[in-house]
Structure 1
Amino acid sequence: MTRVRRDPRADRRAAQIASLDRPRFDLAGRAADGGPGRPRRNPRTEFAALRVTGAARPRFDRQHRGEGAVAQVVSAASTPNVIVVDAPAFLVAVVPDAPGGRLTQHDRQLFGAARTLAGAHGAVAALVAGEIEGLGAIGADRVAALASTQNYAPDVTAAALASAFAALSPRHLLFPETPDGGDLARRLALLTGEPLFPDVEQLSATSVSRAARGKRVAQRAAPARLMTLGADVVAPYSGPAREGRSEPLPTAEVSAPAITDARRIPADPATTPLTVADFVVSAGNGVTDIEAFRRLAEALGATPGASRVLCDAGLMPRASQVGASGSVLTATCYLALGVAGAPQHLQGVAGCEHVVAVNTDLHAAMIERAGLAIVQDAQLVMPALIAALESERAS
């Protein structure tokens, strides 16, 4: 049996496109016309089909390829994957601090530790007082509301926790090792008689450890029922969102608080040390009007800081220097005005949760570090912020 021998030169001449200066060939349409070969794939079209619609930045779903990729991508963007655990084998409860109804980074790490202990068969329950948004996104399968008090009443909160502890019977109950969280954990251990394993420094699904004997040895044990977790022990949960279903609790009998009048008096931001300040506004070499900077810091209620350049020039005190050779910050918000962002300065703000930078240089290192950047002269931004704050307070 014989077949006609194909002539590649004739095939190429047949695919040539006429009326062009240079020879060009339509290689994609050869198979459609019955010629030899197959349609040439267009990688740009396939890549465009993977793009997730509605995203501010270009994002692509590389798990879905081939036919139906567009429909699958749109479905994934419109209905995000939420994990639902209907009948968990056990519960791991978390009691975050959440000051002012806002989760701290330490609280988020607490949920990461709880997910490690829960594994694939358990569920994580958040025990919170008041409304807190986004608990499902950080790993909570259940959300139980505790009785809240207007004033500081740790004995009332501990009694409510003891009632919830008896009702839910969790395998583990985690607190942050903070002044408030550690105090509640020790009160609950006293009320329930459960042993407490405090200040966990290493955690896995099968073991926990902490420093003991003046940090000379590490004490290891199986995960206890009551534990407090140190900061930066476990990374926050970053997996798919959980259901965050509401979990009802029985009404607990709450007695009158032993502390009848307790108030939290905020410290003066002007005298607060930078290492413990929650909100820091810092001036760099781009700030020339130091008096306007001080007025802005006072209007914002922030602790003033400065870069090394201003401290070396004597414009700001040495105690206000931010950086590896000055103060290392753990502030919730850091506002940098005219700070270029030297490596030593960036080391000093590495622990800040939110960084806002004002600089005229779009490519400054501080702009790249910031979560929010204003590309403008700090001398123009400072009076505008002061005027906006005064207008808001007047209204």
Structure 2
Amino acid sequence: MNDNIKRIDPRRPFVITAEGLKRITLGEIGNGVVLDLASMHGGHKQAVKARRTTKPAKRSLLVAAHTDRGALDDHARQALAAAALLADDETEVVLIAFGEFKDDAAALGADRYIELPAFDRRSFAPDEEVRALTACVAHFAPVRVFMPDNATGDGDLGRRYAARADGSIATHVVELDHAHVASYANAGRAFASRALPDVVLLAANAVDARLPFVGAGEAVSAEDIVPVAKVSAYVDLGIEEMDAAQVALEEADFIVSAGNGVSDIGAFETLAGTLGAAIGASRVAVDDGKFTRDKQIGATGKTVEASVYIAFGISGAVQHLQGIKDCRHVIAVNLDASAPIAKRANLTIVADAQETVKALTDAAAAARAARAGGGSIMQTATVAEGVAA
């Protein structure tokens, strides 16, 4: 045995890092105080991203996309990133947001943006949207226009605008650089490319939306740029409401899911019906016979891509987390703040799942009654505050 080897004594003094970890280091004396080892030893810290350019803009690239609940989806963010990556230091990136916009435009790569809250993704007003986009193009005079090529409004708007403006267009673009764009042809058996057109409709996942820089993020008023809407030639009959219970979990946009912490299944199903959400469950809840197998979410069940996923009383096994990895907003309700699902959740409510189900049901019913009786927004906000408390 070699007695010359230095060993760490687990009982010797230690330091506590900013992350709350105990560290015992040979040659250093600790006293149990909190110490920022990252700054002492050159550890990595989250770097502040620099502005893409600070030079005056001589030209612009325009990105147009519809928002969903005030935010751009991943496909729209990729289109914005594509424009930002192709822009030189004398080119600004301008975002036209059709709908309410609450995202951080600078972090997404936009130098300037216009919010058009009058245009909702759920309504159908193609002529007015083309008029608005045409007016923005006339104002900013962009070199070209980028849009996500999707089936929820942007792809249709891009094609209508290109036809109206008699401009060149490339659709389903999967590859682009400063000189060309490319798309699959002949059912994916061939690859077609051409010079950059006036309008680029980008396929999903063609560009990484994560950028190494930020834009200026300056808001521009739509007044005096976008014309006042006229009476549309179309009659929008709205979206036909569907019973959320009849929607397949893989297609559901709003899901409430129950785990072992939910004991009153009837109350949980009532909440789902009140919120208009589809019902999911953990494997434990399914194995206990509380839900049928087709409701199971996870690696051994179904993988979902909901915009909102609320997990009641689910601890978050690895298999379950795999099933919700593509969900946009995850809310966890659990008594254990250190449960694995809390690391995945965007918001964790440390509370009893059954009590929270009842509180949300009461709040939703009160909010509906307030709206039906002409109650004010303040009354509804008071109800929400009561749930949060």
Same fold (TM over 0.5): yes
Q: Please report how far the alpha carbon of residue 361 of structure 1 lies from its aligned counterpart in structure 2 after TM superposition.
A: 3.4
Cα distance in structure 2, aligned partners of 1:109 and 1:202:
12
Give the secondary-structure state (helix, strand or coil) at the position aligned to 2:162: helix
Cα distance in structure 2, aligned partners of 1:361 and 1:46:
28
Q: Which residue does the alignment assign to 2:68?
A: 99
Does the Cα contact within 8 Å between 2:331 and 2:347 map onto a contact in 1?
yes
Cα distance in structure 1, aligned partners of 2:180 and 2:316:
41
**Residue of 269, 276, 282 corresponding to 2:251:** 276
Amino acid at match of 2:57: P
Amino acid at match of 1:139: G
Cα deviation, 1:186-232, whole Å, max 9, x if unaligned, reads 11121122232112233444443332221223333443321222333
TM-score, length-scaled by structure 2: 0.73
* Aligned-pair Cα RMSD in Å: 3.4
1:342–1:260 Cα change, 3 Å: same
Does the Cα contact within 8 Å between 1:84 and 1:243 map onto a contact in 2?
no
Which has the greater radius of gyration?
Answer: 1
Number of aligned residues: 330
**Residue of 272, 295, 303 corresponding to 2:270:** 295
Amino acid at match of 2:148: P
Q: Which residue does the alignment assign to 1:388?
A: 363
Cα deviation, 1:251-298, whole Å, max 9, x if unaligned, reads 659764221343223332222221222111111233222112111212
Q: Please report how far the alpha carbon of residue 108 of structure 1 lies from its aligned counterpart in structure 2 after TM superposition.
A: 2.3
Cα deviation, 1:337-395, whole Å, max 9, x if unaligned, reads 12222323212111111111122334332122112112333223222222333333344
Cα distance in structure 2, aligned partners of 1:283 and 1:275:
17
Q: Which residue does the alignment assign to 1:192?
A: 165
Cα deviation, 1:83-136, whole Å, max 9, x if unaligned, reads 775632321111111134432233222221221121433211112345523323
1:329–1:233 Cα change, 3 Å: farther
Is residue 2:165 matched to residue 1:165? no
Q: Please report how far the alpha carbon of residue 181 of structure 1 lies from its aligned counterpart in structure 2 after TM superposition.
A: 0.6
Cα distance in structure 1, aligned partners of 2:288 and 2:359:
26
Task: Map 1:210-225 to 2 at 5 A.
Answer: 210-225=183-198
Amino acid at match of 1:296: L
Cα distance in structure 2, aligned partners of 1:271 and 1:48:
54
Does the Cα contact within 8 Å between 1:90 and 1:170 map onto a contact in 2?
yes
Q: Which residue does the alignment assign to 1:22?
A: none
Q: What percentage of aligned pairs have identical amino acids?
A: 34
Q: Which residue does the alignment assign to 2:322?
A: 347
Task: Map 1:1-395 to 2 at 5 A.
Answer: 85=54, 87-129=56-98, 131-133=100-102, 134-144=104-114, 148=118, 152-179=124-151, 180-238=153-211, 239-246=213-220, 250=225, 252=227, 256-395=231-370
Amino acid at match of 2:214: P
Runs of 4+ in structure 1 over 6 Å off: 48-51, 59-63, 80-84
Q: Please report how far the alpha carbon of residue 302 of structure 1 lies from its aligned counterpart in structure 2 after TM superposition.
A: 1.3
Does the Cα contact within 8 Å between 1:83 and 1:243 map onto a contact in 2?
no
Q: Which residue does the alignment assign to 1:68?
A: none
Does the Cα contact within 8 Å between 1:146 and 1:161 map onto a contact in 2?
no
Cα distance in structure 1, aligned partners of 2:352 and 2:35:
44
Q: Using the TM superposition, name which of 182-191 and 313-322 deviates more.
A: 313-322
Q: Please report how far the alpha carbon of residue 313 of structure 1 lies from its aligned counterpart in structure 2 after TM superposition.
A: 3.9
Does the Cα contact within 8 Å between 1:85 and 1:141 map onto a contact in 2?
no
Does the Cα contact within 8 Å between 1:82 and 1:243 map onto a contact in 2?
no
Q: Please report how far the alpha carbon of residue 335 of structure 1 lies from its aligned counterpart in structure 2 after TM superposition.
A: 0.7
Cα distance in structure 1, aligned partners of 2:309 and 2:183:
32
Cα distance in structure 1, aligned partners of 2:39 and 2:335:
37
Structure 2 unaligned runs (5+)? Answer: 1-32, 371-389
Does the Cα contact within 8 Å between 2:52 and 2:89 map onto a contact in 1?
no
Give the secondary-structure state (helix, strand or coil) at the position aligned to 2:61: strand
Give the secondary-structure state (helix, strand or coil) at the position aligned to 1:208: strand
Cα distance in structure 2, aligned partners of 1:165 and 1:275:
38
1:247–1:218 Cα change, 3 Å: farther
Cα distance in structure 1, aligned partners of 2:164 and 2:362:
53
1:260–1:308 Cα change, 3 Å: same
Amino acid at match of 1:118: A
Cα distance in structure 2, aligned partners of 1:308 and 1:49:
41
1:275–1:86 Cα change, 3 Å: same
Amino acid at match of 2:142: P
1:276–1:168 Cα change, 3 Å: same
Cα distance in structure 2, aligned partners of 1:235 and 1:92:
18
1:306–1:92 Cα change, 3 Å: same
